[in-house]
Amino acid sequence: MIMLGVNYLPTELEARSQKRWGKYSLYDDYHDTILKGLKKIGVFLEDRYELSSSDYRYYVDTGPVMERGWAAASGMGWQGKNGMLISKTHGNWLLLATLITKLEIEPDQPLKKRHSEPAHDIEMGLLCGKCRRCIDSCPTDAIVEPGLLDANRCISYHTIENKGVIPRGIRSGIGNRIFGCDICLDACPWNRFAKSGKQFLLSSRYDIGELGLLDILNMDREMFRIVFRKTPIKRLKLRGLLRNACIVAGNLRETKEWGEVDDQDWLNRVKVALRSLAQCEEVLVRPHAVWALYRLFGERASEILDDSRRSEDDKATLEEYSWWEEKRALIS
């Protein structure tokens, strides 16, 4: 088994943009680009060791493989308390891939706490000591204990993998993050040794980090296809991105990001975009647009959404209206 780690720490991205987008998303889809590198390794093995293509298989974050555990067993790093692989030289910033071969190769050894101790290939937090920064930094308390992550509370899961309505209790914790989350990765002190990647197997798309919130709220399918072509964000589809953008808009007064909430003209344009999304054909988007308008404009949202409320027939969106109406009734 051959493990490959590809450094994806960006070189030129603004720190502010890095918070908005998961760092790995600001490249062409790594599944495709790293796969090309694995294929070259396969060809090398065929030529060097007289193997056939049936003598090996490769995976990039796919298939029935346990990349992190195997990477730890190979000595590439250890699994941190956030469950991610941590490298002494690259911090948290390695994308993992696997090549399984019939070829017999002398194995590397797992890391040790001390030279005199036996190796521990799967010990959680092997070189983390008493550090809890990753656990304590999570705004939604998704890391319930060292190495155990509750996906139902994870920002990355909800903004990338969740194809439905994002729970109301998670939305404020998402903050300004439009796709993915690196909070528990950024918190790790081992990152101080990490250096930016040379992009041998990655192709940067830092232009995505320059998109404004209004650019996304007003995006149509054709523009989505053009902007996010070949990136991992394309798998989210436009409706998923708009859903996430609505949540980010609803958090604007807390995050002070993606624009100036004190700029009335800009805020009015956000209001118009959200009102349009509250009436759009995508039922996934509508409840999140309603939530965002109430978060931003309070009682005024009822007036803004009056026409939309009367014509709404989607259960999740109607529940959103009802929740806010009940909340207002309790306050009054």
240 domain residue, yes or no = yes
Question: Which pLDDT does position 12 carry in this prediction?
Answer: 64
Question: Which pLDDT does position 256 carry in this prediction?
Answer: 80
CA 80 vs CA 49, 120, 192, 217, 319: distances in Å: 36, 13, 15, 36, 40
Catalytic position from the list 61, 141, 263, 307:
61
10 domain residue, yes or no = no
Q: pLDDT tens digits for the chain (332 residues)? A: 899 999 998 876 555 566 799 999 989 999 999 999 999 999 999 999 999 999 999 999 888 888 999 999 999 999 999 999 999 999 999 999 999 999 888 999 898 876 555 555 557 888 999 999 999 999 999 999 999 999 999 999 999 999 999 999 999 999 999 999 999 999 999 999 998 877 677 888 888 988 999 999 999 999 999 999 999 999 999 999 999 999 999 999 998 876 677 789 999 999 999 999 999 999 999 999 999 999 999 989 999 999 889 999 999 999 999 999 898 777 65
Identity of residue 308: S
Question: Which pLDDT does position 197 carry in this prediction?
Answer: 74
What is the domain range of residue 139? 133-194+201-331
100 domain residue, yes or no = no
Alpha helical stretches, state H, the chain? 15-20, 30-49, 67-73, 133-137, 155-156, 168-174, 183-186, 213-217, 221-227, 237-250, 252-255, 264-277, 286-297, 300-304, 306-311, 315-331
Burial of 143-171, coded b for 16+ CB within 10 Å and e otherwise, reads beebbebeeebbbbbbbbebeebbeeebb
Active site residue 61: yes
Give dist(CA 260, CA 275) in Å, integer: 19
Closest C-alpha to 316, from 217, 243, 214, 250 = 243
Closest C-alpha to 213, from 144, 295, 272, 167 = 272
C-beta neighbour count of 196 within 10 angstroms: 13
Give dist(CA 8, CA 84) in Å, integer: 14
Instruction: Report the predicted TM-score, pTM, of the whole model to 2 decimal places.
Output: 0.91
Give dist(CA 37, CA 39) in Å, integer: 5
206 domain residue, yes or no = yes
185 domain residue, yes or no = yes
Q: And the tokens for 293?
A: 């308008």
164 domain residue, yes or no = yes
Question: Which pLDDT does position 63 carry in this prediction?
Answer: 82
Tokens 């002494």 sit at which residue?
88
Q: And the tokens for 171?
A: 């939305």
272 domain residue, yes or no = yes
Long-range contacts of 10-14 (CB under 8 A, 24+ apart): 10/196, 10/197, 10/204, 10/206, 11/196, 11/197, 11/204, 12/204, 12/206, 13/206, 13/209, 14/209
Give dist(CA 1, CA 31) in Å, integer: 19
- List all residues 6 or more positions away from 215 whose beta carbon is below 8 Å from its beta carbon: none
Which helix (H) or strand (E) is 99 found in, with range? strand 94-101
Number of domains in the chain: 1
103 domain residue, yes or no = no
